[in-house]
Amino acid sequence: MRSRITRHLWPILGAPIPVRREPDGAPAAEQIVPETPPLELSGRDYAISLLRLAAEIEHGLMVQYLFAAYSLDPPGAPAAQRPMVRRWQEAILGIAKEEMAHLVTVQNLLTALGGPLQFNREDFPHDTVLYPSGFRLRPLSLPSLATYVVAESPEVWEGEQADRIKQQAAAEVGGTVNRVGRLYEELIDVIGDPALVPDSTFDAASMPFQASWDEWGRGYRRGERGRQAASDPDAPAVPELIIDTVDSRTTAIAALEQVGEQGEGFGMPRDEDESHFERFLKVHQEFENLSEDERRALVRDIATNPTTDLSGPDVGADPADTETTSPIANPTARLWAHLFNVRYRKLLVSLSHAFELAENRTGSGSPGPRGSLIHRAFAEMYNLRSIAGLLVSLPLDHAEPDAARAGPPFQMPHTLMLPHDEDDRWRLHRDLLDAAATLVARIGAVDGAGTAHDYLTALAQADRIEREQVDALIAGTARAPVGAPTP
């Protein structure tokens, strides 16, 4: 599966490719030089394949960062260190949110180039030539932090600290951790070249279908949202959420540069915002200064790669990877994990569905269901956080109640392709609500007290309200959306 993509990615590495496998590591007798675009692909098609890979990577990073953030600040963490660990947590959550914005911006680029959207990613992909490292859901640790720092690092990052962190990262993944920035550099080269991607490729008419910052950034410009860490009055302002729309080569390059800059900083930040690299590096420094025991006290004991699949490692897991997956044996936690997966799918379906509906840009017209889908996507983000919060407190295995906790599995659905017919798309939403209702009832029967009960009761009602609205949309009896009165 991965080879479908990787076989086109050699140009980025720039190194000659041996035409045959030589025995015992002998030097290649014969090599070819990768071409751009790769044979079989046009320039536009190559750009689209790179963008789709970028989307996968942003998506994967976002999920891994969320998992890492949720692993912090266990009950009983030392009070003196709680402000610091909450600051880390919010810094990482902030980065994850920005990765989400990058993911959306990449979809805009795909839309402008006329490529298929990419909300998919593999659960446990091999280490491709461009993936920063193997995809792993793991609680925060010094080595995992090192991989994040390196993945977000700029092209030139040298010195004792750089060497040390790169070594930590390499030891963690068993090889080199790739920089995300390299992919964006290649994208800028390809999309910036009119010979590869002609001007006519950029479809300005696709703008109403793209995600706008007004909608997805909720209109908060740099620093306007508030502080980076709600828990810390002295924290810096929240950085810019980059959600760029694209209607030309110029706007496409600007979007790619901004996304790249927010990741690694490119060494020369154009503004005061810290890059992901800098923010991760700061967390790493503070984490590294603690003793092993102190670190352990700040991180929950959560299973690595928790999964509802009891049959073992997912297809695609590296056989050499001893971590593989952690099946959730605890039936209550497993039900919550299934519910988590349904909400995750619902988020992704809402996102991709929103891209199918044009934004009404007249300003005073009636808003359509696109706005509802965007709100629903945010609501599902809240749900994912809520269920993750419950999962990190439930034992992975009920037979070992004092051992590791479960965690959010973030398992991908069997498909993210949307039906062609609009009514069928709403039927998919209804299917997901029905699946959620079944799980809510099942969980309620076994975990029906306290916070879990309060949450499930409210969630069930919210879902009933949504289902009625979805039913009305399918039946064509939905109330006309209300907007400003027509003058």
Partner 1 sequence: MIHELRILPSLAIARFGSAPTPMDNYDAVVDAAEPLGYRTLRPAETLEIDVDSGEIVRALVPDALSFTENGAVRPVAPFLEVWALIGDEGLTGGGRLEPLTTALLEEEGTSAGDLRWQVQLANLKVMRRTGNAADAVRADSGEFSDHVRRALDGTCDNFVRGRTIGFGHVQYIRPTASHPQIRLRFTPAAGRIYGPTRSPFPNAPVPDPNVSEAVYDAQRGGWDGYRDVGGPQDTAPGGIYAGRRVGNNQVSSGYLDDGCDGVVRVSLELGGRTLRALGRVGAGPPAYAPDALPIRTVADELEQALFGPTVDPAEATFERVEEIVRRAFETVRLLNTGFHNEDWGWAGGAPFMASSLVDPIAVENLHQSLLVALRSGTAPWFGDVLRDHDAAGDRTFRGRRRMPAMMRGADGQLLTLTRRQVALIRALAQGPLFESEEPES
Residues between 381 and 410 that touch partner 1 (CB under 8 A): 382-383, 385-390, 392-395, 401-402
Segment contacting partner 1 by CB under 8 A, of 38-46, 134-142, 302-310, 448-456: 448-456
Q: Is 114 in the site for partner 1 (CB under 8 A)?
A: no
Q: Is 430 in the site for partner 1 (CB under 8 A)?
A: no
Q: Is 375 in the site for partner 1 (CB under 8 A)?
A: yes
Q: Please, what is the minimum distance in Å from the beta carbon of residue 122 to partner 1?
A: 28
Between 15 and 382, CB nearer to partner 1: 382
Restricted to residues 348-367, the positions that interact with partner 1 (CB under 8 A) are 359-367
Q: Sign of the C-alpha dihedral, residues 370, 376, 381, 384? A: negative
Q: Is 476 in the site for partner 1 (CB under 8 A)?
A: no
Segment contacting partner 1 by CB under 8 A, of 279-287, 311-319, 345-353, 375-383: 375-383
Q: Is 226 in the site for partner 1 (CB under 8 A)?
A: yes
Restricted to residues 29-58, the positions that interact with partner 1 (CB under 8 A) are none
Restricted to residues 90-109, the positions that interact with partner 1 (CB under 8 A) are none
Question: In this chain, which of 175, 219, 316, 448 binds partner 1, going by CB under 8 A?
Answer: 219
Q: How far apart, in Å, are the Cα atoms of 25 and each of 15, 18, 19, 21, 22?
A: 16, 11, 14, 8, 6
Q: Is 457 in the site for partner 1 (CB under 8 A)?
A: yes
Segment contacting partner 1 by CB under 8 A, of 167-175, 210-218, 262-270, 422-430: 210-218
Question: In this chain, which of 5, 161, 469, 474 binds partner 1, going by CB under 8 A?
Answer: 469
Segment contacting partner 1 by CB under 8 A, of 41-49, 245-253, 282-290, 475-483: 475-483
Q: Is 86 in the site for partner 1 (CB under 8 A)?
A: yes
Q: Please, what is the minimum distance in Å from the beta carbon of residue 472 to partner 1?
A: 10
Question: In this chain, which of 155, 224, 423, 434 binds partner 1, going by CB under 8 A?
Answer: 224
Segment contacting partner 1 by CB under 8 A, of 143-151, 213-221, 241-249, 275-283: 213-221
Alpha carbon distance 263, 277 (integer Å): 6
243 and 216 Cβ atoms separated by less than 8 Å: yes
Segment contacting partner 1 by CB under 8 A, of 48-56, 255-263, 343-351, 477-485: 477-485
Q: Is 484 in the site for partner 1 (CB under 8 A)?
A: yes
Q: Is 236 in the site for partner 1 (CB under 8 A)?
A: no
Query: What residues contact 472, with CB distance under 8 A and at least 6 apart?
Result: 478, 479
Using CB under 8 A as the binding criterion, the count of chain residues that bind partner 1 stands at 73
Q: Please, what is the minimum distance in Å from the beta carbon of residue 395 to partner 1?
A: 7
Q: Is 161 in the site for partner 1 (CB under 8 A)?
A: no
Restricted to residues 55-74, the positions that interact with partner 1 (CB under 8 A) are 69-70, 72-73
Q: Please, what is the minimum distance in Å from the beta carbon of residue 481 to partner 1?
A: 5
